[in-house]
Structure 1
Amino acid sequence: MLKIADLVKRYGTGEPVLKNLDLTVEGTSIVAVIGSSGAGKSTLLRCINRLVEPTSGSIELNGVELTSLRGKDLRMARRRIGMVFQGFNLVDRLTVMENVQSGRLGYISTWAAITRRYPKDDIARAYELMERVGIAQYANTRADALSGGERQRVGVVRALMQRPEILLADEPTASLDPRTSEAIMGLMRDLAHELDLPIIINIHNVTEAKEYTDRIVGMRYGRIIFDDAPAALDEDAMEAIYAGSPGADRAAGAQAA
């Protein structure tokens, strides 16, 4: 279980980006976080994995308080939190297998990583996951030779190689065409249920959020103002989340598409 309580993130002396935010994610639910640009969606995800330091509040994952961890304890905790990025974050000159194995860097020795002497169990696990997402044939292909959808599949497998207890996805389909975007969302939904893995997805496309997730959290100005099943996201809720914001037209267009 992920339990966030009274979370605040402030940069300098300005208005907080996150304002006393509370959120609980249990089981294998897939949670979409929506809202206009600047609502705090990405900051929320980055506070969870401590890429951004919270100003105050509590973030607890399966009984471990993440905000108090430092050094080795923090590195150990991060192994339990998978992350899928909008920009893929692959090393282009490395092969798919090598990029996938980077998800195990927190588990193997520095020497094994440098010499690429990956444990046999890790190689077997990588092939299993790559086969599942349809990229096993590219195991020895350089990452820069892949399409956007294939690159994002590599990013998903890399995160799953950590054997995470939760998966965070920050705009994982923003750089993809509509058809590929839907394929990635469907894949993540299926993997969540197959692996008993909770997923939090920061996403702009409301139509995809409603179709592929179990729960939608709507943010505005650093606060959660909607938290319910996708079917409950009606016009009034959309108005509350997006009205007058720069992302309003984009979100409305995505919903109508």
Structure 2
Amino acid sequence: MLQITDLVKRYGSGDPVLKNLDLTVEGESVVSIIGSSGAGKSTLLRCINKLVEPTSGSIELNGLELTGLHGSRLREARRRIGMVFQGFNLVDRLTVMENVQSGRLGYISTWAAVTRRYPKEDIRRAYELMERVGIAHYANKRADELSGGERQRVGVVRALMQKPEILLADEPTASLDPKTSEQIMALLRDLARELSLPVLINIHNVNEAKQYTDRIVGMRYGRIIFDGLPGELDEDAMEKIYSGSPAADRATAEPARQAS
């Protein structure tokens, strides 16, 4: 379970990007985060995976407090958090298998990584996951020879190779065509069920959020102002998320936190 309590993130002396945010994600639920650009969605994910350090508050993953970790403890914690990126973040000159195995870098020796002598168990698991997402036949193909949808599938498998306790996805379909976007969203939903893995997705496409996720969290000006089932995301909620004023956000922030 991911438990976020009273999270604040401020850059410099400006207004906080995240404002006393509370959020819980558990089980095999697929949770989408929606909101206008600048709402704080990407900053929230970056705080969870420790790409940035929160200003204050708590982020706890299955009993481990993530805030304030450094060095080896931080590296160990990051093993527990899988990340799927909008821009894929693959090494183009490497093969699909080599990119997938980079998800195991936190577990194998530097010598094994440099010489590409991957453990047999890691190779077996990589083929199983690649077969599951439909890219096993590309194992020895360079990453830059793949389509966008195929590259994103490589990114998903790389994240799953970590055997994460939660999977984060930052705009995973933004670079894809509509049909491929739906395929990737369906894949993330199905994998969450199969692996009993909670998934937290930052997404702009509200229709995809309503169709493929179990719960929608709406953010505005660094606060959660909606937290509910896809069917509960009505026109009034959409208005508050995408057209609300800062004053409206302050008025709705406390009820939204209580609902989460």
Instruction: Provide TM-score, normalisation by structure 1.
Output: 0.95
Quote the residue 1:252 is aligned against: none
Quote the residue 1:163 is aligned against: 163
C-alpha displacement of 1:52:
1.0
* Alignment of 1:62 onto 2:34: no
Quote the residue 2:86 is aligned against: 86
Matches within 5 A, 1:29-178: 29-178=29-178
Q: Is the 8 A contact 2:112 2:118 kept in 1?
A: yes
* Alignment of 1:222 onto 2:222: yes
Counterpart-to-counterpart distance in 2, 1:71 and 1:243: 42
Counterpart-to-counterpart distance in 1, 2:194 and 2:184: 15
Question: Which letter maps to 2:148?
Answer: G
Counterpart-to-counterpart distance in 2, 1:86 and 1:156: 11
Quote the residue 1:234 is aligned against: 234
Quote the residue 1:25 is aligned against: 25
**1:159 aligns to what SS in structure 2?**
helix
Deviation digits for residues 200-254 of structure 1 (CA, Å, limit 9, x no counterpart): 0000000000000000000000000000000000000000000179xxxxxxxxx
Deviation digits for residues 159-180 of structure 1 (CA, Å, limit 9, x no counterpart): 0000000000000000000000
C-alpha displacement of 1:68:
2.5
Instruction: Provide TM-score, normalisation by structure 2.
Output: 0.93
**2:101 aligns to what SS in structure 1?**
helix
Matches within 5 A, 1:199-218: 199-218=199-218
Aligned length: 245
- Specify every segment of 5 or more residues in structure 1 that has no aligned partner in the other structure, as ranges: 246-257
Counterpart-to-counterpart distance in 2, 1:219 and 1:11: 18
CA RMSD of aligned residues (A): 0.8
Counterpart-to-counterpart distance in 1, 2:68 and 2:14: 24
Structure 2 vs 1, CA of residues 237 and 244 (structure 1 numbering), >3 Å: closer, same or farther? closer
Counterpart-to-counterpart distance in 2, 1:244 and 1:23: 21
Counterpart-to-counterpart distance in 2, 1:65 and 1:53: 13
Q: Is the 8 A contact 2:53 2:68 kept in 1?
A: no
Counterpart-to-counterpart distance in 2, 1:25 and 1:158: 22
**2:50 aligns to what SS in structure 1?**
coil
**2:137 aligns to what SS in structure 1?**
helix
Deviation digits for residues 106-154 of structure 1 (CA, Å, limit 9, x no counterpart): 0000000000000000000000000000000000000000000000000
Counterpart-to-counterpart distance in 1, 2:51 and 2:34: 20
Counterpart-to-counterpart distance in 2, 1:121 and 1:50: 28
Counterpart-to-counterpart distance in 1, 2:92 and 2:53: 29
C-alpha displacement of 1:69:
1.3
Quote the residue 2:15 is aligned against: 15
**2:7 aligns to what SS in structure 1?**
strand
Q: Is the 8 A contact 2:210 2:231 kept in 1?
A: yes
Counterpart-to-counterpart distance in 1, 2:173 and 2:55: 29
Counterpart-to-counterpart distance in 1, 2:244 and 2:77: 39
Question: Which letter maps to 2:165?
Answer: E
Instruction: Flag as ranges the 4+ runs of structure 1 deviating above 2 A.
Output: none
Question: Which letter maps to 2:111?
Answer: W
Counterpart-to-counterpart distance in 1, 2:53 and 2:69: 11
Quote the residue 2:2 is aligned against: 2
